[in-house]
């Protein structure tokens, strides 16, 4: 049983910095450090000094990928950074970003958060144009499409790319002297703008701005491209707004850090509201409310405040458990989540617990959490889930399993309750989630719950589809 096995995974975190006289590589490093939760497979930074682009990428966490001497060699006044979790393309050094692309009139570096659903068709076309590929991810396709667009201005390149790309893409792009931020017309993944002294920062989440001392200015609008150069920041392209948007609701449930602001709302407050909605929809008599660390803690507080049941800590998370390439033997594997979570028997023994968690995906981790709490002496366990049942895979930048692996796509709520051995199980309703997030229904994507994808997808996509050349 993989400790990570029952969690959904976002693709990436991106950051861009433009600031003359500043150590932009170091600023980008700390911006990526704040976005480490969005991807732990690889990290990279590219910089430009007006003459050339320098690049370093490596496998592993941000702190494993960069040392002082690496940052010292990344000189310049413009930088972009990327931390990756793969949703298209394998976890391999060749797929680390930023990606360099050389077009007829421009050389650029690109970092991408999202997923392009027509990547395979676009790759076939780009191969026909004479483009060569060194990776197997959709991000290189996006980079080549922009750099080879039949256009001579950035406005026309971006307009061409947006007409061709289908899917989710929040991008940071740089040349040797210019920074751009680009967000797809549906606004699936977040992207924001901050001011840093005399320079500018573009990042996936506002928490990255906070960490480097930048002041949040605004979000990049869906379908917008902004450019930063020696003249400052300006919006250079805005596609005609779509009637509906598709901001990913899972950013609010799980992906984004609780101290980030998305769609004008503090994520922590939204998660508290989810817990309050759960308390109203699924009340129960209990002695204590606990959350599964870390993403469900705010929701547990909200459940406690709404229900009047005291909040407490029943599970402790080992926050230093990271990705490892050392496989446990069977005995250690059988310990399951004990490597990541440990119960507090002195606090939960004999108590009826409400246990709040963010989601159930494959159902591999939840039974172990319930078992741990029973072993700690819990008398009853009433499981409450901040997300509705996940019944459909995502095609827009989340790696959350195929439909046949999704527990709720194949079992009823009662069957899931029996499987995880909880005394009761309650999922947040679609309506309750929309109320908690505080956005209109046509502004958020809930396809993983409803199957109503904002972009038509005929077949279930394979994240390794680009591993073999067409």
Cα separation, 168 vs 187, in Å, equals 7
Cα separation, 275 vs 291, in Å, equals 10
Catalytic residue (choose from 12, 131, 192, 386): 12
Which among 52, 12, 48 is positioned nearest to 32, based on CA atoms? 12
Task: Find all residues with CB under 8 Å of 130, minimum gap 6, and list them.
Answer: none
CB 241 within 8 A of CB 223: yes
| Residue 156 CA, distance from chain mean position | 29
Question: Measured between alpha carbons, how far is residue 326 from residues 86, 321, 337 in Å?
Answer: 20, 12, 16
CB 194 within 8 A of CB 201: yes
Q: Is the peptide bond between 98 and the residue preceding it cis, with omega within 30 degrees of 0?
A: yes
Residue 445 appears among annotated catalytic residues: no
Q: Is the peptide bond between 131 and the residue preceding it cis, with omega within 30 degrees of 0?
A: no
End-to-end Cα distance, the chain: 35
Cα separation, 280 vs 390, in Å, equals 21
Which among 251, 198, 188, 199 is positioned nearest to 222, based on CA atoms? 188
| Residue 209 CA, distance from chain mean position | 17
Which strand ranges, in their side-by-side order, compose the sheet holding 53-59?
53-59, 42-48, 78-84, 12-18, 199-203, 192-196, 215-219
Active site residues: 12
């Amino acid at each position: 049983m993989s400790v990570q096995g029952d969690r959904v995974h976002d693709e990436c975190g991106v950051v861009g910095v433009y600031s003359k006289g500043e150590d932009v590589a170091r600023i980008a490093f700390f911006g990526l450090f704040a976005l480490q939760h969005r991807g732990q497979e690889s990290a990279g930074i590219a910089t430009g000094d007006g003459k050339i682009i320098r690049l370093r990428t490596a496998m592993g966490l941000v702190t494993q990928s960069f040392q002082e001497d690496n940052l010292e060699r990344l000189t310049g006044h413009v930088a972009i950074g990327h931390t990756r979790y793969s949703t298209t393309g394998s976890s391999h050094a060749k797929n680390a970003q930023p990606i360099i692309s050389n077009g007829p009139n421009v050389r650029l570096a690109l970092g991408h958060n999202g997923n392009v659903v027509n990547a395979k068709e676009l790759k076939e076309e780009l191969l026909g144009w004479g483009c060569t590929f060194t990776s197997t991810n959709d991000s290189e396709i996006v980079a080549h499409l922009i750099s080879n667009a039949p256009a001579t201005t950035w406005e026309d390149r971006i307009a061409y790319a947006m007409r061709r790309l289908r899917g989710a893409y929040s991008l940071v792009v740089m040349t040797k002297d210019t920074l751009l931020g680009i967000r797809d017309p549906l606004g699936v993944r977040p992207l924001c703008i901050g001011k840093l002294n005399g320079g500018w920062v573009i990042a996936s989440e506002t928490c990255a701005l906070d960490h480097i001392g930048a002041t949040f200015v605004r979000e990049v609008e869906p379908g917008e491209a902004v450019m930063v150069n020696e003249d400052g920041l300006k919006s250079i392209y805005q596609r005609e707004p779509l009637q509906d948007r598709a901001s990913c609701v899972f950013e609010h449930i799980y992906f984004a850090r609780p101290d980030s602001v998305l769609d004008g709302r503090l994520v922590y407050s939204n998660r508290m509201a989810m817990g309050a909605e759960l308390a109203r929809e699924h009340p129960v008599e209990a002695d204590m409310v606990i959350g599964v660390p870390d993403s469900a803690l705010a929701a547990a507080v909200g459940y406690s405040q709404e229900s009047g049941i005291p909040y407490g800590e029943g599970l402790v998370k080992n926050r230093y458990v990271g990705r490892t390439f050392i496989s446990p033997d069977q005995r250690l594997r059988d310990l399951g989540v004990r490597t990541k979570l440990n119960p507090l028997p002195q606090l939960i023994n004999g108590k009826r617990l409400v246990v709040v968690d963010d989601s159930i995906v494959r159902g591999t981790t939840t039974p172990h959490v319930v078992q741990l709490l029973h072993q700690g002496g819990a008398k009853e366990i009433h499981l409450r889930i901040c997300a509705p049942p996940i019944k459909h895979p995502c095609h827009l930048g989340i790696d959350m399993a195929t439909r046949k692996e999704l527990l709720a796509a194949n079992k009823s709520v009662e069957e899931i309750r029996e499987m995880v051995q909880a005394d009761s199980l309650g999922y947040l309703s679609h309506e309750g989630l929309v109320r908690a997030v505080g956005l209109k229904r046509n502004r958020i994507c809930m396809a993983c719950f409803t199957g109503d994808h904002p972009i038509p997808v005929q077949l279930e996509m394979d994240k390794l589809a680009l591993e073999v050349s067409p």
